[in-house]
Amino acid sequence: MMPLNVLVTDDSAVMRAMIVKTLRMSGLHLGEIAHASNGVEALEVLDAVWIDLVLVDINMPVMDGLELLTQIARRPYAGALRTIVVSTEGSDPRLAAVRAFGAAFVRKPFSPELLRDVVLRITGVAA
Ligand SMILES: [Mg+2]
């Protein structure tokens, strides 16, 4: 499998570091890992460099995760980009909207094994 370029989007630097650590423990073949602390920063990265997988927090200042997904859907790379929404709130009504965008969902905190399984499923690569 080709290395995955990943963008980790979360307004918490602690959470971003935890997600990166989990990614590195997952056994996935990773390429570049980029960070963004809100949707605006995420779009700047996505518009500038090739990203295969974006992890998206829902609650962020400036531009939240749902608005980010809305903006991504209008971009030419939307069809090739895989999205995973990472949230503490499994019952958040916004998660229905998340699924409407075709994004996967994982609840914080999550294990390297779960993250690996979800990534392999949505990238269509057999484990
Ligand atoms: Mg947040």
How do residues 105-123 score in pLDDT, each as one tens digit?
Answer: 898 888 999 999 999 998 8
Which residues are CB-contacts of 74 (< 8 A; sequence separation ≥ 6)?
none
Cα(124) to ligand 1 centroid in Å equals 28
Cα(126) to ligand 1 centroid in Å equals 31
Domain boundaries, the chain: 1-11+34-107
Q: What is the pLDDT of residues 32-87, one digit of tens each?
A: 999 999 999 999 999 999 999 999 999 999 999 999 999 999 999 999 999 999 98
Domain 1-11+34-107: give its CATH code.
Answer: 3.40.50.2300
In which band, very low, low, confident or very high, does the pLDDT at 88 lie, cut at 50, 70 and 90? confident
Contact yes or no for 65/9 (Cβ under 8 A)? yes
> What is the reported pTM?
0.92
In which band, very low, low, confident or very high, does the pLDDT at 127 lie, cut at 50, 70 and 90? very low
Cα(102) to ligand 1 centroid in Å equals 20
